[in-house]
Structure 1
Amino acid sequence: MPPIPHVRPENVLRRAEELIAVGQPAAALSVLHEHVTSKRSRSSPIASLEPVMLLFVELCVDLRKGKSAKDGLYQYKNIAQNTNVGTIEMVLKKFIELAEQKVTEAQAKADEIQSSLESAAPTSNVEDLDAIETPETILLATVSGEQSRDRTDRAVVTPWLKFLWETYRTVLEILKNNARLEVMYQATALQAFQFCLKYTRKTEFRRLCELLRNHVQNAAKYSAQMHAINLSDPDTLQRHLDTRFQQLNVAVELELWQEGFRSVEDIHTLLNLSKRQPKNIMMANYYEKLTKIFMVSDNYLFHAAAWNRYYNLLRQSAIALAAGQGSKKDSPSVTEADMTKAASFVLLSALSIPVISTSRSRGALVDVDEVRKNKNTRLTNLLGMPQPPTRASLFKDALNKGLLSRCRPEIRDLYNILEVDFHPLSICKKISPILKEIGADPEMEKYVLPLQQVILTRLFQQLSQVYESVELKFVHELAHFPEPFQVTSSMIEKFIMNGCKKGDLAIRVDHVSGVLTFESDIFSSAKALHPGSAAGSAESEVGSVQRLQSTPAEIARSQLARLAKTLHVTCMYVDPSYNQARIKAKEAAHARARAGAAKEHEETLTRRAIIEKRKEALSDALQKKQREEENRKRARNQQLQEAEQQRLLDEHRERERKRMKDEQDRIRQQELKKQLEELKTGVKGIDVNQIDLEELDSNRLRAIKLAQLEKEKNDLNEKIRITSKRIDHLERAFRREELKHLPEDYETQKKQDLETYEQTKEETLKAARQKHKEDVALKHRLSRLVPYFNDFKKSVTEKRHEEFERRRKAADREFEQKKKQRIKEVHERIRRERAEREAEEQRRREEEERIAREEQERIAKEEERRRALAEEKAAREEQRRQVFIRFHIRASLTKKTENSMSRLSVKGNVRREAEQRRAARKAWPCRTERPSARSIFPNELPRVLTLLAELELHGEIVKPPKLLPVPASNRPQPKRPRQHPRRKRAATSLHIYGQPAMGLLIAVIFPMLGNPLLRLDNFLEALCLPLALPLPRKSLAHGDQDSNNSSRCYVSTVSGLV
């Protein structure tokens, strides 16, 4: 359903045009403003609302209603920014164009008024020539002090200039911090800059710069809003940089140096945010404007540094263009003349840097040193330099880049005179022609005054090194400059007083005698004697002053250092060995350096690679973080946008629902009123004034109407019944009278019918005869064309028949071709399907064979794996059994050893019996004393027993069939002492333990314990004799042989064990 007529934009526009037509633009503006700012206009289509806004801004401009325009444009931006941005830009452009047009018309009107006044003044017809100006005009001119032109401009042009300025401010406020309107925002800012420059509006320019600065600062604050600008976007940042560079240009043109410096800081801040390399042409403009700003602020050091950066940029651009690496569009146009001019300004500005401090008092060097340091740091950052520049560093950089060969000859001569070959007695004579040439150049004329200060500084510095006192007249003659740069005595004295006040000079002026006295206190600081400080130029090198000879202060201060140096040199010549230690240390250091050079180089490369990797990792992490942040921000913006769209959609639906309901109520009320009016006019007996419309509905109204109609019907039937009863008698009388006249009427009607028939028949025959005549004439006229018609028809028929036959044959041929092609395709498809089936069958058979082969291999591998697992399991079981047996044997031996040793420890005659056994063994004829034989100690017994148990377990020691004494005939038996009964019981109870060999071993060996002199041979004999084993052929401790047992074999296992 369409909206209510009185709130539709078309109706509002029509109403406004009607008001304008009758000369009421203020009322039309009021109507448009009310419609634009109302909430109902949000649901209006943009296409119908756009003409309303165009007329609205036109009326606002005509009536200078800036506030109304601002309210309406804000509302229109909120309505259209999510759907159609182009219409917002069009309306705002129209707004600005109309305001600029009004300013142009006002200027033309002011020029016309002024020209008419000027032309009418001399020819005005006045009665009294002496009273051309009235007293009012004289009083106005006396009070205001302005000319008529200024008053005219103030009355006619200034109001429109103010309105244009308000227009720019309004548009910038509307377009701020909106990414979709950013291009229009930057274009409007550039137009505002041109407005300030064209009309020299310095105050408005300051406010405009502050407004733009606040917009950029608030961009980060409102970054979460919908359509917020993103300064991380390179294109957005580039547009802001272009605007700030234009702002810097306008500030320089208007000579607003403080605002220009702030613009430079804004540009530097944006450059730090930018990830894209700025264009060379922009940076060239940046440094060029910085030179002007620093020159106006009398900061000659950073002025020279800015010229240095400008020259470097031009040189790099020229090299890049020559190599084909740069773009001509993005690089400044560089010619040889430009390079020469830039080099001359670099060198001249460096020469103009003051050598001493340019501050006004000594206190400035003490109180605000930190402030100056911070300021120099800021200026260094603005120039993009790693460290603050100095006078010496600028000269060094200029010489390294060959500026002397590029600059103008007079500048080169000036450098040689001031810095290379400075002579105080002839300085002014040499430099006068150069100053004339520099003063003749308008661009270089501004450097004459700082050059004079530098010359005077150099002059007094070198005079203080040579003379103790000089005449003022002599100094005036030395400091003679050409006209118009002449230096007076008062200027020289003022220079000396300022230098002494700041502590850079130590000069006393005697006006009575006209003498300058250079004070030289040997205990004073070097500042006054060697004024090389440059607080105003950031210079700190004392070596910047040329030394003609040492001063007394220097001699007193460096006496000990010079003495030490002289003695060192003397010792080097007198005693050559004095340097040997140093030379050796130096050679050793060189050797270490050469030895570690490769390693250090590798470490450096490794460290560099690690640093690069860390940088890459950090960069990747940063980029990842930025991408994640951008994704989150994009998702958040999308959510906000979707929520906003949903909200707008809900509001639109609610408004539509409410509007439909209101419309339905309105239509219902209108229908009720219409029906009531019908009842009032058509039905009598109903008083509609007593019916309440609020309580009335359609059903009730229908019931009232039906009841009234029923009543009317009954009344009508009653009337008809009464009337019919009266009419029946009258009708009967009429019919009786009519019967008398019916024959006459019949005859009359018959005659009329016959006449009508005859007339119709005659007309029909006449028309038939006329048509026949015309047809016959047409036949005779067309009969001549029949042969031609037949020939034409025959030819057309033949042609169509031929065409039909040709097309039929072509169709037949095409049908046969398609039929053959179809048959061929069918045969090919059948062959291909057969081949595919065969290939599929072959693949299926190969796959089955492969599966069967793999299954057999799997079964074989499974059998092999099971067999290997079984063998491994059996081996593990056998190993586990052997370990168990070994552990059991070790436990048994340990237990038996403990029991035996406990029994032996109880007996007190162990040592005595051991001595008897040793004496008996010594008495054997087959044994000889071997002093070098190693004895067996009790602490070796557990290991021996364990190894013997392992040997017995593996079958190395074979148990004899019977444990019987060996007959004496088989081997010599020495006379042995009687054994202890306890040992006999141990020997006879060997079979009880189930280990005969071990039991016998324990019975034989344990009695030997406690004898520290028991040798290995005794142990072998004690071991082998009870077991009926042969004695070893070769003892492990000795290399002798036993002659009685030479034929016997030795058990290798026992020998290896021992």
Structure 2
Amino acid sequence: MAPHVRPENVLKRAEELLAVEQAGDALNLLHEIITSKRTRNTPIASLEPIMLRFVELCVQLRRGKLAKEGLYTYKNVAQNTSVGSIEVVLKRFIDLSKEKVNEAQEQADKIALDTIDDLEASETPESIMLSTVSTEQSKDRTDRAVVTPWLKFLWEAYRTVLEILRNNARLEIMYQATAIQAFQFCLKYARKTEFRRLCELLRNHLQSASKNLSQVHAINLNDPDTLQRHLDTRFAQLNAAVELELWQEAFRSVEDIHTLLTISKRPPKPAMMVNYYEKLTKIFLVSDNYLFHAAAASRYHNLRLQTRPMTEAEASRSASIVLLSAIAIPVISTSRFRAGMYDVDESKHKNVRLSGLLGLSKAPSRASLLKEALSKGILSRVRPEINALYQILEVDFHPLSICRKISPIMSELVKDDELARYIQPLHQVILTRLFQQLSQVYDSLKLDFVVKLVDFPAPFSVSPTTIEKFIMNGCKKGELAIKINHADDSLTFESDVYATSKAASDSAVQLQPTPTEIVRTELSRLAKALFATVNLVDTDYISSVAAAKEAALQRAVSGVASEHKAALERKNVIEDRLKQAETILQKREEDESRKRALKLQQEQAAEQTRLAEEMRKRELDRIRREQDAIMELEKRKIADEMISKGIKIAPGTLETMDTAQLREVEIEQTEKRTKDISERMRLTAKRIDHLERAYRKAEIPLLEQDYEKQKLADKALHEERRAAQIETAKAQFEAKVLLKKRLRRMVPDYEEYKERLLHM
């Protein structure tokens, strides 16, 4: 129907079409009314019921693109007058889509149950083999056929609503609620790909919001409430990413949260930050970044202690995780060795970036994390085996028994799933401490002896190949100074006093100074001794130092007044410059405000021009569509007439032909058909004429014979019928004679009765 129909009568007309099962025509009618130019002046109270019915039909017929176009148009019409109406329509759109998904799931479950004939029947080998090659619908096929189309429609509905609501401060609350519903959708149906796309979509919306601050109803991230809503949404996104185990998206969500926290002028909620650091610990642990995992665990533990009281068991468990994560930080990095200035700068930039996420001014280290944990008295709250592990690795010196003492501790750790995650990095720490302590006692060792020292029970055993790889990696990193001699199967610890090895680093327990340290500190110790000797023996040096101090004191006393005067002058100059800067800043702000107002007017004018151009193009497209529909209807009508007349149309040619061409084809086919019929009639008449002539020629001699036969047959038949007639006549005559004789006996009685009647 044309769009000039009054909106008040649209619903009535749509209901009439629905009553005769023409839902598609009803939807097109509503769509034309909604996108019509005249609808812009229609009151929202009259337009809202039309939109609600429109979205119901769009969901019913699964017309997502049509719904998107109509919702965009309605948003442009109602966003300046009735924001609540937009929210009602969009909420109805989402709710109907959810209902369709639930109905599809119930239908799929019912189909799956209907295919089961006997619930007590067991699977046989024959039935299993048949199921692998049969074409019966399994539950997966049923879900793909019934549920998947509606899941796609619901996902597109979420995307459409988010695109419509984006970058509008008046619709921001529903935007955040819809985003959270989309996260729940991805969680419920385990849609990881859609979750990545959703995160990217929200990220793009936030970037565009920060750029388009001059638009009408633009989102202001400086507003604390707006920023808090964005933070809540990003935390919901972070929780969903962790639950879906999409760690890369979780890390990006953490970066988004950190960016918003730096913008925020309001301090974040403690419970929110507890969740933030908890998710960071999981992300860093999955990425095998044990250093920042331990830092995040420490921040998480401290914040939990500040926000809410914990029981003794909870505090002990949390403290144990903090200390164990710090101990498990590998002293030697297990990553591949990378040399070069570019890689060093890249690693430094990465550490600065990760430190910023944790709110740290500089990158943490293993020693600093252990020192911080000890300063807060964590050792008194950790589990006994964790305390013993710390004493063995960081305090005691026992190179020959370190592995034997740690083995029972590892057996205790493996019983707890949360603590068992640190066993693998603990191997690296144990091996590092073993070789650091051995290097302080021995010059060389047999490799077999070292392998016996690294004797862990299964499944924690370490192979000789792993030990050798660890030594090579430690030497590359400069943490170890060991040479392996495969000829005599031995290890040699470097003893060059001029080497720069870190074999006995500051983090390791030292039994005695190494030769390298003795040589490296010889000059400094000599300088300290000479300085102390000069201060005690040389009187001239002592008097010169005292005179220099006295002269400096006199200069300071004499220059106090001039310095005070200079300070006052400098203060006045600073105040004058501040006033000038404020004046310049105020003038600049006024100029910028005027420019923003002018730019806003220009953008509004350009937007109105663009909208008018879009409406004009949309109207032209509608007229073109109507003309095409009329032409298509006429073509279909002509084609149906041609088919009813028996005229064939080549497949695929109907779409490329117009009505004139179809008429030409009809005339041509009719003329050709008439000629064919005339020619066939002529040939048929000629053939029948010749055949009849041949029949008659062949019939002439046979007719005479048949005539003679017919005469004899007719004569015999005549005689037979004559004889039968005579016999019948005789029989009838005899019967009548007998009747006459019987009736003759009644004549006297008749005459007597007659006479009696006459004389009465």
Secondary structure at 2:216's aligned position in 1?
coil
- Structure 1 residues 631 and 487 mapped into 2: Cα distance closer, same or farther (>3 Å)? same
Instruction: Report the Cα distance in structure 2 between the residues aligned to 1:314 and 1:614, rounded to whole angstroms.
Output: 50
Match of 1:187 in 2: 177
Which of 427, 431, 434 aligns to 1:456? It is 431
The residue identity in structure 2 corresponding to 1:268 is H
Contact map agreement 2:478 2:501 (CA 8 A) in 1: no
Residue in structure 1 matched with residue 516 of structure 2 by the alignment: 553
Q: Is the 8 A contact 1:287 1:306 kept in 2?
A: yes
Matches within 5 A, 1:787-806: none
Q: Specify the alignment match of 1:359 in structure 2.
A: 335
Q: Which sections of structure 2, spanning at least 5 residues, go unmatched?
A: 614-760
- Deviation, structure 1 residue 396: 2.5
Deviation at 1:522, TM superposition (A): 3.3
* Matched residue, 1:211: 201
Deviates more, 1:608-617 or 1:416-425: 608-617
**2:353 equivalent to 1:412:** no
1:580 to 2:542 alignment = yes
Q: CA deviation at 1:197?
A: 1.1
Aligned counterparts, 1:321-400, within 5 A: 334-335=310-311, 337-361=313-337, 363-364=338-339, 366-400=341-375
Q: Look up the equivalent residue of 2:428 and give its one-letter code.
A: Q
Question: 255, 272, 276: which one pairs with 2:245?
Answer: 255
The TM-score, its normalising length taken from structure 1, stands at: 0.52
> 2:516 is matched by which residue type in structure 1?
A
Partner of 1:160: 150
Instruction: Give the secondary-structure state (helix, strand or coil) at the position aligned to 1:517.
Output: strand
Counterpart in the other structure of 1:69? 67
Structure 1 316/602 Cα, relative in aligned 2: closer, same or farther at 3 Å? farther
- In 1, the alpha carbon distance for the partners of 2:259 and 2:25 equals 49
Q: What residue is the counterpart of 1:269 in the other structure?
A: 259
Matched, 1:30 2:28: yes
CA contact (8 A) 2:94 2:158 kept: yes
Q: How far is the alpha carbon of 1:594 from its aligned partner?
A: 12
Q: What is the distance in 2 between the residues matched to 1:194 and 1:569?
A: 73
Deviation at 1:312, TM superposition (A): 3.2
- Are 1:305 and 1:394, in contact at CA under 8 Å, matched by a contact in 2? yes
Work out whether 1:470 is the aligned partner of 2:428. no
SS of corresponding position for 1:516: strand
Q: Paired residue for 2:51? A: 53
| Residue 229 to residue 544, structure 1, CA distance change in 2 (3 Å) | same
Does the 8 Å CA contact 1:521/1:553 hold for their aligned counterparts?
yes
Question: Pick from 19, 43, 46: which aligns with 2:41?
Answer: 43
Distance in 2 (alpha carbons) for counterparts of 1:626 and 1:646: 30
Describe the SS at the equivalent of 2:253: helix
1:500 corresponds in structure 2 to: 475
Match of 2:103 in 1: 105
Q: Is the 8 A contact 2:397 2:437 kept in 1?
A: no
Question: 2:645 aligns to what?
Answer: none
Rg (Cα) greater in structure:
1
Do the aligned partners of 1:466 and 1:549 also contact (CA within 8 Å) in 2? no
CA displacement at 1:261 relative to structure 2? 1.0
**Separation in 2, partners of 1:545, 1:130:** 64
Q: Is 2:233 aligned against 1:233?
A: no
Distance 1:480 1:622 in 2: 75
For residue 304 of structure 2, what is the aligned residue in structure 1? 314
Amino-acid identity (%): 60
CA deviations 1:996-1034 (Å, max 9, x no partner) are xxxxxxxxxxxxxxxxxxxxxxxxxxxxxxxxxxxxxxx
TM-fit CA distance, 1:309: 2.1
Whether the 8 Å contact between 1:244 and 1:263 is mirrored in structure 2 is yes
Shift of 1:67: 0.5
Does structure 1 residue 522 correspond to structure 2 residue 497? yes
Unpaired runs of 5+ residues, structure 1, are 142-146, 319-332, 531-541, 652-1058
Change (3 A) 1:543 1:618: farther
Indicate whether 1:300 and 2:290 are aligned. yes
Contact 2:3 2:32 in 1 (8 A): no
Cα distance in structure 2, aligned partners of 1:88 and 1:233: 23
- Separation of aligned partners in 1, 2:513 and 2:345: 33
How many angstroms apart in 1 are the aligned matches of 2:299 and 2:340? 28
Distance 1:108 1:608 in 2: 82
Change over 3 Å in CA distance of 1:621–1:507 after alignment to 2: farther
Shift of 1:504: 3.0
Matches within 5 A, 1:872-1021: none
Conservation of the 8 A alpha-carbon contact between 1:432 and 1:481: yes
Post-superposition offset of 1:74: 0.3
Structure 1 contact 380–388 (Cα < 8 Å) conserved: yes
1:559-580 deviation digits (Å, cap 9, x = unpaired): 434444455556667x374983
1:95 alignment counterpart? 93
Q: SS in structure 2 opposite 1:7?
A: coil
Q: 1:26: how far off? A: 1.8
Amino acid paired to 2:197: R
Sort the Cα spacing of 1:316 and 1:81 in 2 relative to 1 into closer, same or farther, 3 A. Answer: same
Determine the C-alpha separation between the residues in 2 that align with 1:483 and 1:134: 42
Q: Which amino acid aligns with 2:506?
A: G
Counterpart position of 2:133: 138
Q: Given that residues 231 and 237 in structure 1 are in contact (C-alpha distance below 8 angstroms), is that contact kept between their aligned partners in structure 2?
A: yes
Q: Which amino acid aligns with 2:85?
A: T
The Cα shift of 1:266 comes to: 0.9
Aligned position for 1:282: 272
Deviations 1:374-411 (A, max 9, x none): 11111111111111212222222223333223333333
Q: Give the distance between the partners of 2:391 and 2:367, measured in 1 at CA.
A: 15
| Paired residues for 1:814-853 under 5 Å | none
**Residues 440 and 190 of structure 1, relative CA distance in 2, 3 Å threshold:** same
- Residue identity matched to 1:138: V
Q: Which of 52, 77, 80 lines up with 1:79 in the alignment?
A: 77
CA gap of 1:389–1:135, structure 2 versus 1, over 3 A, is: closer
Aligned-residue Cα RMSD (Å) equals 4.2
Partner amino acid for 1:553? T
Distance 2:304 2:342 in 1: 40
Deviations 1:594-627 (A, max 9, x none): 999x99x999x99999999999999999997999
* Amino acid of the structure 1 residue aligned with 2:326: A
Aligned length: 610
